[in-house]
Amino acid sequence: MTEEIRTNTQTLSIVPTGHALSLLLVISYLLCIAFGLLAPSEMRMYEAWAPLLPGFEWLTLSGFMFGLIGAYLYGWYIAVVFVPLYRFFAQRK
């Protein structure tokens, strides 16, 4: 069992994890933008995104692009931090 755990931790790599997390956050961002366009003004979620995404402005092309790039980069940041931590703690079992 210990050998199986060590083998599994070696297969978790930063690149596929970074792509997966970035895509997850980009899809979430796009869904929130779509929801903001369809929902009444008091239910919009862009106010939650604005502090987390520098340069984001509601309903501007530059703001949309800054938000999209920021969401993608956050996915990579999480992967770069998460994968080594996961490997470290998985090997300690």
Cα–Cα distance measured from residue 51 to residue 67, given in angstroms and rounded to the nearest whole number: 11
Is the pLDDT confidence value at 51 over 90? no
Q: Is residue 84 part of a domain?
A: yes
Query: Alpha helix (H) ranges present in 13-60?
Result: 14-38, 46-49
Q: Is residue 3 part of a domain?
A: no
Q: Is residue 19 part of a domain?
A: yes
H/E stretch holding 66: helix 61-91
Looking at residue 74, its pLDDT comes to 97
CB of 71 within 8 A of CB of 24? no
Q: Report the pLDDT averaged over residues 6-34.
A: 88
More confident residue, 27 or 59: 27
Domain that holds residue 43: 13-89
Q: What is the pLDDT of residues 56-92, one digit of tens each?
A: 888 899 999 999 999 999 999 999 999 999 999 988 7
Distance of CA 85 to the CA centre of its chain: 17
Number of domains in the chain: 1
Categorize the per-residue pLDDT at 21 as very low, low, confident or very high, splitting at 50, 70 and 90: very high
Q: Is residue 31 part of a domain?
A: yes
User: Which pTM does this prediction carry?
Assistant: 0.81
Q: Is residue 5 part of a domain?
A: no
Q: Is residue 7 part of a domain?
A: no
